[in-house]
Structure 1
Amino acid sequence: MMSSASGEPRSRTAAPSLRFSVLGPVRAWRDDEQVSTGSPQQRALLAALLLQRGRSSTAAELVDAMWGQEPPAQSLAALRTYASRLRKALGTDALVSAAGGYALRLPPGALDLQVVDELGASAEKSRLAGDMRSARALFQQALAHWEGEPLSGVPGPFAATHRVRLEEKRLQLLEARLEADLEIGDHRTAAGELTALTAVHPLRERLRSLLMTALYRSGRQAEALAVYEDTRRLLTDELGVEPGAELQQLHQRILQADPVLAAAVEPSAARRHPGPGVPGQLPAPVADFTGRAQERARLRQTLLEARRDRMPVAVVSGLPGVGKTALAVRVAQDLRAEFPDGQLYGRLGPDGARSPGRVLAGFLRAFGTSDSDIPDDVEERAALWRSTLVGRRVLVLLDDAADMEQVVPLLPGEAGCAVLLTSRSPLSGAGTRLLALDVLTHEESVDLFTSVAGRERTAGEAAAVRDVVRACGHLPLAICLAASRFAARPSWNVADLASLLQDGRSTELRMGSLVERVLRTAHRALPPAEAHAFVQLGRLADPVFSVEHGAAVLRVPDEEAERLLEALVHSSLLGSPAPGRYAYHPLVGRYARELAERVGRPEGGGQTGAGAEGRPASSAARTSGPSSR
């Protein structure tokens, strides 16, 4: 333990002769006596060496850390002077010359940051084992090491950068401790602390999510929903973005009064995990998961090939909102017992929201690797990850992958493990098995709507329910959204909703809705040429069109049009019902048309059907009817 706020050192059994703190002022102790760390620039040198955790730094790196882009003329001489003074204060065995620079040899447990990392790793192990009370206590012990602003009073760009990093570490530990508070049922106390924290960090969505959960479990549902609306308004005004998927899903669960969310019972280790220290990171399954019996059976069959000492990789692809993640989580939950050494979850994102390196670091921490032992290099992390899984049977669920390049570093090297991917694109690679997920059948769509909306309220309106799910294009996300809106309006009947959706007076399934936000994210992830084509193709009047039709409206040669159309099919934003034929899903097509209306017609008054001005006569002739190609 480091010193108290009064400057008196805290006791520690078998304390090392030298101890250091960076989670506040940079200080040093020899046994119980505080050691002078000198001037601000000398403390900057000490901080840079401490944060290297015993690794050597060159003189040039240390000069850059202390002074940045504009070091003084005699910076090397000043560096040597500061190093000499530190060596005299700390001892020649502590500060050594190495690799044209210096290194600080730290005994185990000598740095407060190292102790925090060890406590955090122990807390994570307790959490994964289901012992939330121990986890909460360990997280709190780690947080107690902060004594104000990290590296306070230390000048230089290196200290400024790490000050931000250390503050982020503190907030992550605080969020973990508050999550543990909620797990053990202390939601009322947590709600008060979270209210104050969200005022200080208004754009931090994880804190907002915890506050909404705490309020909901305290019987304050309306206040929890108000927090979401305030968050959405703030993010839209400040950053021009909508809340993330986690916050949106929590909002929907609160709207639906999800009884699972309301539960705050501390889980037992025996119920959650078959053994101590086994990661169980899978998200909770969707409460209203419906249908997909054939798809579930096919994925189970693929993943169970791990029993035969194989390492299967199953890929679920499909258009946004079709339920890829819900299906993957449901199947992964079904197979937990088949992978007794752990189930891991990582979200990647087509926009690089989470890099493979970050996901690897999280996976390694889940198996007890401390931050100090996680390599900086992604390839080295991947090698350590594969080594960690030797002899283990683990299921890895990777959500929203953009391409196989993101996925390859995360693949286990051990036969007996299995990987389940979701992606908008039909990823392929050595040993992958693809499941292209389509919209729900009509019967499944009806079942999903009535399940979310309430079977009592939909009874006797079978025809209206059919009209609603047809207007939703049988897309699960759209159906859930429509059903949730209906459930929140107790005076409506289903026919009212069906009428609004059919005559276009409602915007619930279009602009500003959850469906629109998902499609907007997918559209923005496209390369510029494909994004432009996505919008322009929305001008086509025919629901199914050919390459020639697409070339006409895009005003490009047929070969380029086919390349763009196939790229949109690959991104699951366009369907191909038959060779050479293409079609938008009704809701995707509606979104493309609305984008096209925003940007206006292109110069020359481009046509919305077959044929277009400005095309050669021979090409225009080929687009004269739906039978072309």
Structure 2
Amino acid sequence: MPAYLRQEQVPDSRSAPDIMHDELRFALLGPVRAWRRGIEVDLGSPQQRAVWLALLLEGGRPVTVHHLVDAVWGNTPPVGAVSTVRTYVSRLRKALEPERTVGRPPQLVLSVAGGYVLRTAGTSVVDMAEFETRVSEAMLLKRAGELQAAAGRLRTALDAWQGTPLAGIPGPLAEAERGRLAERRVSVHEARVELDLRLGCHDDVVPELAALCSQHPLRERLHALLMLALYRCGRQAEALATYHAARRLLVEELGVEPGAELRDMYQRLLAADPALMHTSRAHETGGEVSAPGLVSGRTPARAVGQVLTPTADRVGRPAMDVPVSGPAPAITEPWREDHPFPETASKSTATADRHFSAGLSVRPRQLPADLSVFTGRVAELARATSLVPGPHEPSAVITIHGMAGVGKTAFAVRLAHTVAHHFPEGQLYMDLRSFGPVGTAVEPSAAIRAFLIALDIAPEQIPPYAEAQAALYRSALANRRLLIVLDNARDSDHVRSLLPGTPGCMVVVTSRNQLMGLVAAHGAQPIALDVLDDGDADRLIINRVGTARTSTEPEAVRDIVEACARWPLALAIVAARAATHPAFPLSTIAAELHDARGSLDAFESSDPTMDVRAVFSWSYQVLPCASAQLFRLLALHPGCSISLQSAASLAGLPHREVQPLLAELTRAHLITECEHRRYVFHDLLHNYAAELSEAMDSAEVRPAALLRLFDHYMHTAYNAAVLLTPNVREIFLPPPAEGSFPLHFDDTSDASAWLDREREIILAVIELADAENSKTHSSRLAQILIGSTPWAFMRGWMASPGRLIRKMDRHAT
């Protein structure tokens, strides 16, 4: 058990705790505070507190500096973020160990390889420990039948909260912990209200429940409790209106009907079920009452293999009898009933049994509508349709991967409609929302639950644990021939539990990532989608705008296709603009695109799913800091392709460190590996990266990266040229900048091959260096190439060596 959640010596007061002489105490459930020997300690700036929080949450485990940077700034760290984090750690050490003398090693925050570790001995989070202690006591009292005392303990537990948890601490880690802690709080609050209802305090809890429903409108159990409280107060019409308001919200916001608990409460209210009325005062005896959702002394079933602990193992995780692997869902609270309405449990079980004995007769048809103007992808569709398995063949998995906006969803939907007749027992579809405006992906357990409901499994029969849900899902698919479309997946692990375990099914997965894990472990067949070819791009415009306009302006159509770089999303945006403005000549739209070249302004939209910047941002925002910065810096490169070595110099990182970052960008389809260790940008992604670099990389970062890049090409060109034309040795070069990694060559063959491959890029680097007022680089590079002119002429670099000489001579003088 981590020391910061120890439960001994927890103070009853919410003032500064009574601390043992050497112990540190922290408070998280409100403004963050710290005490040492009873004296409050200033933890510093909000960002410094965020560093402290990251160390505290991983108490006893090493935390890398890069993890701390991510915890504070996410994907947008400032220049020198690593140094800033080290400064924050130094200040925290001084604040928490003020008597430590110079030269004496720290005792609390220790340095380890690549980061730091917080020693948890002698530290605790007092308000969290008090909260969890009172909740645990409430559980024991409730099991003993002391309901009134249990409710009192829960009130005391909730009193430990002093506002928004972790108030004032910025960063993605703090935000995530705030969400977990808030979920924990509302679960305990909900449980306390349930106990009050059992005690007959329905008049008292109505205003409280109404406020909770307003704050948490998607928590169906709160609505059910409010309906029960209103009904017991004789306010039946308001109780029924509460159901209709909750149902309308669920349908409009999520597209789903209320779950079984809420529906059952509604039906019982309509039937005036006498069991709903409170008939006894249980607070003295602990006797059972008929309120739904509550029984005495029974704990929920545990998932196989899960370890339970009586105390929380880190901040924000539940104490008591709940799995330590994550926050407790509502159904796993120890005061909850396995069946929300005990009177209907046996009936629900019998219903589920009938479903299985009938072979799950429901046949879901969940595919979205096919796109009437779908264009191209003939070869890819032919290959995908050929992969449909026979009824007794192993289930097929197809992964559709590609860049943002390349048309993966449209392709998957067209494919699904094309092969749907092979799967008469149903087609399931789920948008997993890994990349999109919502910002929160659908977790596998939520997707499984939705699929089980679609397959006519009663919600109350779905177990609360992921492993059991997955097992039930596989059982439901057994002996059925289903098509399953999993759109917008995050990675391979996101969909593994959704794969069927029986033959005859087909799964289509789309993702911006390559999903190599599915290919390697499950034999998935990958289909990569790129931009459209010229003919299909033309047809996309024609299909959406109409032949009447496109036939009279074929040149404008070609100009639009070129400006959009054959990117389906960009083409669709421009085509929509043309279709909604039929009076605009296509040539006018093409001219606007030409004027906006190098910018994404022409592809803006009020709909985030149709805005190129927004669509790109969903891939960029999930990148780790180092990969995100490399993506931005790559836009500074002037060539049509980028080698591993030049990327390393741009980033100022050794080859072995930059290669995994390039691989990550490649897997995310933000760049493409066109040859071994050579990468290209799509034009619009290049524009996006350039915009990000201009906005986010400081005036120090960009020039330093360009200096390393210029030095890379200047020194590499020199190292190649001296092997081919020794007189180049007379050219003096300053040493390369730190973090620049010029190549060296063993023989003339390698040197000649490099110059051949990089010649156009070298000329572009000369032009860029001149534009950036780096005359040393532009002139020296030009001199190197002029010195190599005889060799260049023999290699056929240009039809006229004189033109090459004049171009380079302009920079050499």
Shorter-chain TM-score tier? 0.5 to 0.7
Q: Offset of 1:360 from its aligned partner?
A: 0.6
Label 1:379 to 1:168 Cα distance change in 2 as closer, same or farther (>3 A): farther
Q: Offset of 1:616 from its aligned partner?
A: 5.2
SS at match of 1:70: helix
CA distance in 1, matches of 2:412, 2:672: 22
SS at match of 2:490: coil
Label 1:509 to 1:87 Cα distance change in 2 as closer, same or farther (>3 A): closer
SS at match of 2:642: strand
SS at match of 2:471: helix
Determine if the alignment matches structure 1 residue 497 to structure 2 residue 589: yes
Identify the match of residue 252 of structure 2 among 175, 183, 204: 175
Identify the match of residue 502 of structure 2 among 409, 414, 422: 414
Determine if the alignment matches structure 1 residue 315 to structure 2 residue 414: no
Amino acid at match of 2:404: P
Q: Offset of 1:591 from its aligned partner?
A: 0.4
Label 1:580 to 1:398 Cα distance change in 2 as closer, same or farther (>3 A): same
For these two proteins, the number of residue pairs brought into alignment is 410
Amino acid at match of 1:458: T
Counterpart position of 2:486: 398
Label 1:422 to 1:86 Cα distance change in 2 as closer, same or farther (>3 A): closer
Determine if the alignment matches structure 1 residue 363 to structure 2 residue 451: yes
Q: Is the 8 A contact 1:150 1:167 kept in 2?
A: no
Q: Is the 8 A contact 2:250 2:256 kept in 1?
A: no
Counterpart position of 2:669: 572
Q: Is the 8 A contact 1:548 1:628 kept in 2?
A: no
Q: Offset of 1:489 from its aligned partner?
A: 2.0
Q: Offset of 1:172 from its aligned partner?
A: 4.8
CA distance in 1, matches of 2:571, 2:641: 23
Q: Is the 8 A contact 1:611 1:620 kept in 2?
A: no
Q: Offset of 1:147 from its aligned partner?
A: 9.2
State the TM-score, normalizing by the size of structure 1: 0.58
Determine if the alignment matches structure 1 residue 297 to structure 2 residue 385: no
Counterpart position of 2:431: 347
CA distance in 1, matches of 2:145, 2:512: 46
Q: Offset of 1:614 from its aligned partner?
A: 3.2
Label 1:392 to 1:464 Cα distance change in 2 as closer, same or farther (>3 A): same
Counterpart position of 1:527: 624
Determine if the alignment matches structure 1 residue 433 to structure 2 residue 536: no
CA deviation string 1:524-549 (max 9, x = no partner): 01122211211121111112110111
Q: Is the 8 A contact 2:425 2:481 kept in 1?
A: yes
SS at match of 1:582: strand
CA deviation string 1:498-553 (max 9, x = no partner): 11112227712269861111001110011222112111211111121101111111
CA deviation string 1:459-489 (max 9, x = no partner): 2211211111111111111100011112222
Identify the match of residue 645 of structure 2 among 524, 534, 548: 548
Counterpart position of 2:603: 509
Identify the match of residue 365 of structure 2 among 249, 258, 280: 280
Counterpart position of 1:483: 575
Q: Which runs of 5+ in 1 are unaligned?
A: 1-47, 74-78, 90-142, 155-164, 181-274
Label 1:598 to 1:343 Cα distance change in 2 as closer, same or farther (>3 A): same
SS at match of 2:386: helix
Q: Offset of 1:601 from its aligned partner?
A: 3.8
Instruction: Provide the identity percentage.
Output: 31
CA distance in 2, matches of 1:598, 1:548: 26
Q: Is the 8 A contact 1:296 1:331 kept in 2?
A: yes
Label 1:153 to 1:64 Cα distance change in 2 as closer, same or farther (>3 A): farther
Amino acid at match of 1:313: V
Amino acid at match of 2:569: L
Amino acid at match of 2:742: S
Q: Is the 8 A contact 1:545 1:626 kept in 2?
A: no
SS at match of 1:607: helix
CA distance in 2, matches of 1:328, 1:72: 48
Label 1:168 to 1:475 Cα distance change in 2 as closer, same or farther (>3 A): farther
CA distance in 1, matches of 2:373, 2:230: 54
Determine if the alignment matches structure 1 residue 607 to structure 2 residue 706: yes
Amino acid at match of 1:354: V
Counterpart position of 1:253: none
SS at match of 2:522: coil
Determine if the alignment matches structure 1 residue 332 to structure 2 residue 405: no
Determine if the alignment matches structure 1 residue 442 to structure 2 residue 538: no
State the TM-score, normalizing by the size of structure 2: 0.46
Q: Is the 8 A contact 1:552 1:620 kept in 2?
A: no
CA distance in 1, matches of 2:568, 2:699: 32
Q: Is the 8 A contact 1:464 1:495 kept in 2?
A: yes
CA distance in 2, matches of 1:396, 1:539: 42
Q: Offset of 1:418 from its aligned partner?
A: 1.2
Counterpart position of 2:127: none
CA distance in 1, matches of 2:410, 2:595: 30
Amino acid at match of 1:508: A
Q: Offset of 1:84 from its aligned partner?
A: 14
CA distance in 2, matches of 1:456, 1:315: 38
Label 1:614 to 1:167 Cα distance change in 2 as closer, same or farther (>3 A): farther
Amino acid at match of 2:576: S
Label 1:403 to 1:84 Cα distance change in 2 as closer, same or farther (>3 A): closer
CA distance in 2, matches of 1:360, 1:305: 23
CA distance in 2, matches of 1:402, 1:306: 29
SS at match of 1:421: strand
Q: Which runs of 5+ in 2 are unaligned?
A: 1-134, 160-190, 202-219, 232-241, 258-359, 713-735, 746-750, 760-813
Amino acid at match of 2:603: L
Label 1:337 to 1:176 Cα distance change in 2 as closer, same or farther (>3 A): farther
The alignment's C-alpha RMSD in Å is 4.0
CA distance in 1, matches of 2:491, 2:146: 36
Q: Offset of 1:149 from its aligned partner?
A: 4.3
- 1:87-236 → structure 2 map (5 Å cutoff): 149-150=226-227, 152=229, 170-172=247-249, 174-175=251-252
CA deviation string 1:68-98 (max 9, x = no partner): 362599xxxxx9xx99996999xxxxxxxxx
Counterpart position of 1:469: 561
CA distance in 2, matches of 1:432, 1:283: 23
